[in-house]
A and B are shown apart, each in its own frame.
Chain A
Amino acid sequence: MLGYAIRRGLQMILVLFFVSLLVFVFIKLAPGDPARLLAGMTATPDTVEIIRHEFGLDRPYYIQFARLLTGLFSGRLKSLTYRAPIRDLIIERARASIELGLVALLLTVIISIPFGVISALMRGRPLDYAISLVALVGISTPVFWLAIILMSVFGVQLGILPISGRGATIGGWSLATVDGVRHLIIPGVALAAIQLALNTRLTRSSMLEILNQDYLRTARAKGLKARIVIVKHAFRNAMLPVLTNVGIQIGGFLGGAVLTETVTAWPGLGRLMFEAISRRDEPLIIGLTLLSAFTAVFGYIVVDLLYALVDPRITYE
């Protein structure tokens, strides 16, 4: 188990190295000059040259790449536009994103699993059709539109929820204040929506598959109560694929956060990513892309390890 974890960890480092290399290559291939962009339209060639030198953009590519990597880990690498170390920027913004991700995750798990199970147990009945239809509509709805509609209805028309920003915070956490929680509702729901719908569908299909298994028929045949059959025999086994999906959701939430945070002006990592790309802030882009790749790969590994804990049939050598 430990050996497996270590091996996966090493693999992850390799993957992250290639991700950073890929991103670096793309940045260097792309047209445009970050130094000129930073200096502004009216800058003289000398100023551009100074800026280029200041950020080491005049060095050979392999040195730039090495400096980027070492700078990221030592925390000295600075953002071009914010003029602050990337590590500090990420830590500062991370709280907002973690909060948002947590709310979305909680909403997803609390709502999707019961609905998926109910839908599977009521297969073919009106309730099942209703839940399936809503879930299908859910995966077809763009998050940013959902956010706009929520903002328009609850923020502007009814005026009961704030439409943007984080509100009051204590120690950088919105969850600690009532005002902050109110600010969290719209972005949280928007971010959760697609995953919620996906997870409901997954729970349903996974439950249906298990319900058709022979051992469930056996369990019923030997006279077990329906509740016990469903909870102990079906539900537990059906949760395995759902667990995978939740893991992927946690790992990949930064992707969805870009849109949600940009629409609702939530000052988290997703919005930072948007700003970094719009302003062509190379070090920040690499840092954030690596972070998003890290969380995604880390999510996979954690899920794989959890599998061994949850399911005694699975062992890792």
Chain B
Amino acid sequence: MSKKTLIVFVLTVLLPGSGHLLRRRWKAGFCYVGLLLIEGVTALLAGQQGLLWGVWCSSRGEVVSSLLLYISIALTWTGALWSVCRRTKKKERASRGYWEHAVEKLSRDTKGITGGVIICVVILIAIFAPFYAIHDPIDMDFMHTLERPSALHLFGTDDYGRDLMSRIFFGSRVALGIGAGATLLNMVWGGLLGIIAGFYRNIVDSVIMRFLEVIGSVPYLILVIFIIGMFGSSVKMLIITLGIFGLAPARIIRSEVLSIRESDYITAAKASGAGDFYTIIRHIIPNSMAPLLVVTTMQIGVNIIIVAGLSFLGFGISPPTPSWGSMLQEAQQFIVVNPWLGLPPGIAIMLTVLGFNLVGDSLRDALDPTLGI
């Protein structure tokens, strides 16, 4: 081991990323240093509130958050060490695959990167909400209601004197959690329907398409409000309802599968005796991934807006759990007294959804520019 390698190794142990910087691997170096900086600030904020040792105290949510913080710090360290010790010889290959090409295209697209950064920040806030939120999101303080932004309450307080910023931070959990959960269900259930309809055609296709037609004929928001309004709302109920009735992916996957089905490689697979299940798993699903990915990314945004809309109408998340939609409902009641109240939750929704739409747009450009979404 040469002297320089040793220095790089020691430096990386002391501060992940510094070794990369010494080796002039700027991008990776700044990434690791940045990550560590974020984690450090998070840990500092947590320590200030006495939550850093959350494993031995306080509520379950805080325990999970602090565990995740430890894990992420450990991962940064080991990741940096691993990548700096690895041989950095670049492998040049004659041809590159579809996905590698797409990833390269993505990493150059400012739109996608901006969106990705927004999403990362929101996810970070959602995971470490108890650390970033200085006040308790449901702690009422009737001496300080409807205050305008100040140093103590950066976004002001609501009608119960609750800190708006803390509520925004905790609200991101509801938005992201339900948005991602429902979209995952959309993807699996809608993808399944689309693949079966597209692959088997004929009667199966007709039945599924008629089903989609009936569901799709009622405007999505009306359908969802109706079901949530009838059956009552809970996080589980919201995820299931949005997941089952958000059938936009099914149609797109179906048309994709219909065209893939006619390709020569499917005929070849069949000729060599591949069964339906094998063909679907091995050929149909990997080849219809691109549009599914694009639709899914955009669908998360749609679901976040729908959840906010439901909470706004009073059908969604019930108080006092902080959610962006119900915060806007409160803001509307005090529109004359304190117009500031409506700004932070709305901007939070808009930015988060914008992040997903930006990434979706850039994914579409990279994966399948002909997709008409």
Using a CB–CB cutoff of 8 Å, the interface residues on chain A facing chain B are 15-16, 18-19, 22-23, 26-27, 29-32, 136-137, 139-145, 148-149, 151-152, 155-157, 163, 205, 241, 252, 254-256, 258-259, 262-263, 273-274, 277-278, 280, 285, 288-289, 292-293, 296-297
Report how far A288 CA is from B350 CA in the complex, Å: 30
Report how far A142 CA is from B304 CA in the complex, Å: 10
Task: Flag if B218 contacts A31 (CB, 8 Å).
Answer: no
Report how far A137 CA is from B305 CA in the complex, Å: 13
Contact for B353 among A26, A140, A252, A256, CB less than 8 A? A140
A157 nearest in chain B by CB position:
B339
Interface string of B332-366 (1 = CB under 8 A from A): 10011001001101100111011001100100000
**18 more A-B contacts (CB under 8 A) besides A15-B210, A137-B354, A152-B335?**
A18-B214, A23-B226, A31-B232, A137-B350, A140-B301, A141-B353, A142-B353, A144-B309, A144-B328, A149-B343, A151-B335, A205-B372, A255-B219, A274-B313, A280-B229, A289-B218, A289-B222, A289-B226
Task: Flag if A252 contacts B219 (CB, 8 Å).
Answer: yes
Report how far A16 CA is from B219 CA in the complex, Å: 13
B331 at the interface (CB under 8 A from A): yes
Contacts of A140 in B (CB 8 A): 301, 305, 350-351, 353-354, 357
Contacts of A149 in B (CB 8 A): 342-343, 346
Chain B interfacial residues counted at CB < 8 A: 46
Contacts of A27 in B (CB 8 A): 230
Contact for A293 among B217, B231, B343, B358, CB less than 8 A? B217
Report how far A129 CA is from B213 CA in the complex, Å: 36
Contacts of A289 in B (CB 8 A): 218, 222-223, 226
Contacts of B308 in A (CB 8 A): 142, 144
Task: Flag if A255 contacts B221 (CB, 8 Å).
Answer: yes
Contacts of B361 in A (CB 8 A): 136
Contacts of B215 in A (CB 8 A): 22
Task: Flag if B358 contacts A136 (CB, 8 Å).
Answer: yes
Report how far A252 CA is from B354 CA in the complex, Å: 23
Task: Flag if A273 contacts B222 (CB, 8 Å).
Answer: yes
Task: Flag if A254 contacts B219 (CB, 8 Å).
Answer: yes
Given known contacts A255-B220, A292-B218, A285 and B350 CB-to-CB distance under 8 angstroms: no
Contact for A156 among B217, B231, B336, CB less than 8 A? B336
Report how far A255 CA is from B215 CA in the complex, Å: 14
B328 nearest in chain A by CB position:
A145
The 9 closest A-B pairs by CB, nearest first: A255-B219, A145-B346, A30-B230, A277-B229, A140-B353, A140-B354, A293-B217, A255-B221, A18-B214
Given known contacts A144-B312, A258-B225, A259-B312, A297 and B217 CB-to-CB distance under 8 angstroms: yes
Task: Flag if B336 contacts A256 (CB, 8 Å).
Answer: no
B260 at the interface (CB under 8 A from A): no
B314 at the interface (CB under 8 A from A): yes
- Listed by A's residue number, 18 A-B pairs whose Cβ atoms lie within 8 Å are A22-B214, A26-B227, A30-B231, A136-B354, A136-B361, A140-B357, A142-B305, A144-B309, A148-B342, A152-B335, A152-B342, A255-B219, A255-B222, A256-B219, A277-B226, A278-B314, A280-B230, A296-B219
Report how far A163 CA is from B226 CA in the complex, Å: 27
Expressed in whole angstroms, the minimum distance between the Cβ of A293 and any Cβ of chain B is 4
Report how far A288 CA is from B226 CA in the complex, Å: 11
Expressed in whole angstroms, the minimum distance between the Cβ of B243 and any Cβ of chain A is 16
Contacts of A137 in B (CB 8 A): 350, 354
Using a CB–CB cutoff of 8 Å, the interface residues on chain B facing chain A are 210, 213-223, 225-227, 229-232, 301, 305, 308-309, 312-315, 328, 331-332, 335-336, 339, 342-343, 345-346, 349-351, 353-354, 357-358, 361, 372
B337 nearest in chain A by CB position:
A156
Report how far A64 CA is from B349 CA in the complex, Å: 42
Expressed in whole angstroms, the minimum distance between the Cβ of A183 and any Cβ of chain B is 16
Report how far A155 CA is from B342 CA in the complex, Å: 14
Contact for A15 among B213, B313, B342, CB less than 8 A? B213
A290 nearest in chain B by CB position:
B218
Task: Flag if A259 contacts B328 (CB, 8 Å).
Answer: no
Report how far A273 CA is from B313 CA in the complex, Å: 12
Given known contacts A139-B357, A259-B312, A263-B332, A156 and B218 CB-to-CB distance under 8 angstroms: no
Given known contacts A151-B335, A254-B222, A255-B222, A141 and B313 CB-to-CB distance under 8 angstroms: no
A21 nearest in chain B by CB position:
B214
Expressed in whole angstroms, the minimum distance between the Cβ of B323 and any Cβ of chain A is 13
Report how far A19 CA is from B345 CA in the complex, Å: 35
Given known contacts A18-B214, A142-B349, A259 and B309 CB-to-CB distance under 8 angstroms: yes
Contacts of A278 in B (CB 8 A): 229, 314
Report how far A296 CA is from B315 CA in the complex, Å: 24
Task: Flag if B214 contacts A256 (CB, 8 Å).
Answer: no
Contacts of B223 in A (CB 8 A): 289
Report how far A136 CA is from B364 CA in the complex, Å: 14
Contacts of B214 in A (CB 8 A): 15, 18-19, 22
Contacts of A277 in B (CB 8 A): 225-226, 229-230, 315
Task: Flag if A241 contacts B339 (CB, 8 Å).
Answer: no
Report how far A22 CA is from B211 CA in the complex, Å: 11
Contacts of B218 in A (CB 8 A): 19, 289, 292-293, 296
